[in-house]
Structure 1
Amino acid sequence: MRVPSRSPGQRPGPSIPTSAPTRRAPAGPSRRLASVEPDLDAYRAAVADLLVEVGALASAASAAARQVLVDQRLREPAIAAVLDATPQGLVGARETLLLEMARYQPDERRPVSDLTALVRIYLLSRIDVMWWRDAPAYRTDEQVGGSADLVDLEWLRRRDLLRFRYQEQPTTLLGRGARALRRRVRPSVAPHTSGLLFRRARREMVALLNDVGREFTAHAPPGAPPLWVTSLVRSAEHQHRLRQLGYAAWLPSGHCLGWAADVEMAWFDRFGARDTLAELLLARQRAGEVNVVDEGQAWHLCLAPESRGRLRRVYEAEMAV
């Protein structure tokens, strides 16, 4: 069974070639040597094992045993090495997760479908935070709108320079009503997603998503729509709003640093293309280009720092900058 970060709940997919680069050691004196970097394969395997144990203790009566289990497992070397390299450190990350688990209330309407999903998303997203621990976050919506490091996706789309699709969040009640009607009448036109609040992205992320989009189009079954992006850069204040709505939106986050994106997965089931997309994303994770987290309807991608320079050059070449 092929799963992002070896977590349970995913489906096997066909083996397809990938254009992702092979893993390279990060360059520069400010980066830690590859020999002392945490072992991400071991981390993902340890998280996968923990998820199985958490699932076996999912009942409310097992809450105390579940807390003890997680507290013990997070101290194991394979997991502790990654958590200790995040800004919160091992203690802060462990306390955050235990508190989130204690507060969790099952609700099928919530984006985080169950407790196992909460643990999976939190722990695997810590890889993003470890990678970009020294990067500044976009704190406000205004900072996102005014950043020179971000480009306007609509400007690129109108010039046919994007190989993926997205939609913006409607800003009026009429707009939200029209979108809801379209979902009911024509469900194959677009996935059930609220859309982007900010139609902006880092140049490197545009290059990554364009590359994934081209590869997906080349391997997807006939009639499948292009890659669909459901989330990109966010501000910390928007992250707080999402958290209030029940989303797995923690701080720090790769989205608030501009280095993460979410891509639709569940919608591609109707076109027989979900497994194809899953396999090519996992191939890029194996190559060390991205971190992949199964969030259910969408999968989360975070760019690895060592891929930043290459993708910036790709963007500049594609856009003739």
Structure 2
Amino acid sequence: MRVPSRSPRQQPGPPAPARRRAQAGRPQPTATVAPDLAAYRAAVADLLVEVGALTGAGSTNARQVLIDQRLREPAIAAVLDATAQGLVGARETLLLEMARYQPNARSSAGDLTALIRIYLLSRIDVMWWRDATMFRTDVEVRHTPELVDLEWLRRRDLLRFRYTEQPRTIIGRGVRALRRRVAPDATPRTAGLLFRHARREIIALLNDIGREFAAAAPAGTGPLWVTSLVRSAEHQHRLRRLGYAAMVPSGHCLGWAVDVEMEWFRRFGARDVLAELLLHRQRAGEINVVDEGQAWHICLAPAATLRLRRAYEAEMGI
């Protein structure tokens, strides 16, 4: 909900000097109040508790009434109204997602409550980046100068995180299947990256987190593992057709969101260490975090981009 600027009530007296008056035809800046994200997340958590009590097949109407009521609460409405869709558009999209929802093994939304949580918390991303331009096609992702090819950096040992790519051939898929049979827990069970590209600021963020995690995790813990980076809108819809909980619009399609593996780190006793590192950065206003089960979704806040761009340039010697 956009909050208009508030100015002191006009007092009687002579008119203001001409130099302080608004010039005719020139728009004047309007002060806005940023939504309270802590209040938003708390309100979403309360909503999820109530939704969880309405799991029966006959509760569809009750869930819709509940959603209608809760989305209009100031803490939630302030964020949704600040997205490009606005409150009404966000509400309609959520109800449509709920109507279409079918649980499956591929989706990070194990139930309807998880779907609502993922959708609502990811709206912080699209509020932050409402004016950003999405990458519409796979070709755009591979050829835009806004993104860096990670393989060039990996070969020079400039990355503090790991990833794997999706195999492109039958032979590649066979080799991966064999590795999983021989050593099933050696790496996270993930499909891998379709695009090994990322924004410079995202690389700096992941390197920061990777270094912190390596220092804080128990000895022998594997490195930070990234399961998804930038996606094209074309690929996002492809994932939706396959049954994944791929929200639209998404921070992934803007290049500002990533997914990092979480469950694999339980075997090292390090999952909670990584979780606290990420939540600490969220409390500091640097990222938005969405718990999606096996992986956590992370989106970079606009306020952190300048520092991280400078960090990238310093680290890469640019």
TM score, norm. by length of structure 2: 0.89
The unaligned stretches of length 5 or more in structure 2 are 1-27
**Equivalent in the alignment of 1:144:** 141
Higher Cα Rg, which structure: 2
**Amino acid in structure 2 at the alignment position of 1:89:** G
Shift of 1:176: 1.6
For the structure 1 residues 31 and 288, does the alpha-carbon distance in structure 2 shift closer, same or farther, using more than 3 Å as the test? farther
Number of residues paired by the alignment?
291
- What's the offset of the Cα at 1:106? 3.0
Using the alignment, how far apart are the partners of 1:56 and 1:68 within structure 2? 14
* Structure 2 CA distance for aligned equivalents of residues 225 and 289 of structure 1: 24
- Deviations along 1:89-141, one digit per CA (max 9) or x if unpaired, are 10010001011111212334543211111000000000000000000000001
**Per the alignment, do residues 32 and 232 of structure 1 end up closer, same or farther by CA in structure 2, a change over 3 Å counting?**
farther
In structure 1, the residue matched to 2:7 is: none
* C-alpha distance in 1 between matches for 2:220 and 2:147: 32
Evaluate the alpha carbon distance shift between residue 270 and residue 31 of structure 1 in structure 2; reply closer, same or farther with a 3 A threshold. Answer: farther
Cα distance per residue 1:259-316 (max 9 Å; x no partner):
0100000111111110000000000000000000001110000000000000000000
Residue of structure 1 equivalent to 2:228:
231
CA distance in 1, matches of 2:210, 2:196: 17
SS of 2:118's partner is helix
Alignment partner, residue 242 of structure 1: 239
Change (3 A) 1:31 1:63: farther
TM-score (structure 1 length as normaliser): 0.88
Q: Secondary structure of the equivalent of 1:36?
A: coil
CA pair 31-278 structure 1, distance change in 2 beyond 3 A: farther
Per mean C-alpha deviation after superposition, the further-off stretch among 221-230 and 172-181 is: 172-181
Deviation at 1:249, TM superposition (A): 1.1
Name the counterpart of 1:76.
73
Aligned to 2:288, the other structure's residue is in SS state strand
Out of 187, 190, 206, the residue aligned to residue 209 of structure 1 is 206
**Separation in 1 of the partners of 2:81 and 2:232?**
25
Alignment partners' CA distance in 2, 1:154 and 1:274: 27
Q: 2:131 aligns with which of 134, 138, 152?
A: 134
Q: Distance in 1 between matches of 2:29 and 2:252?
A: 22
Residue 31 (structure 1) shift: 10
Identity of aligned residues (%): 77
Q: Separation in 1 of the partners of 2:196 and 2:126?
A: 23
**8 A Cα contact 1:168 1:199, kept in partner:** yes
Q: Does 1:294 align with 2:264?
A: no
Matches within 5 A, 1:127-206: 127-206=124-203
1:46-65 to 2 correspondences below 5 Å: 46-65=43-62
**Distance verdict in 2 for CA 1:173–1:59, change over 3 Å:** farther
- Provide the rounded CA distance (Å) in 1 between the counterparts of 2:43 and 2:273: 26
Aligned alpha-carbon RMSD (Å): 1.5
Contact 1:166–1:195 under 8 Å retained in 2: yes
2: CA distance, partners of 1:211 / 1:240? 31
| Structure 1 contact 71–98 (Cα < 8 Å) conserved | no
* Distance in 2, Cα, partners of 1:31 & 1:311: 28
Greater relative contact order (Cα 8 A, min sep 6): structure 1 or 2?
Answer: 1
Residue identity in the other structure for 1:68? V
> Equivalent residue of 1:151, what SS?
strand
> Residues 216-262 of structure 1: CA distance to partner in whole angstroms, max 9, x if unpaired?
00000111000000000010000000111111212211001000100
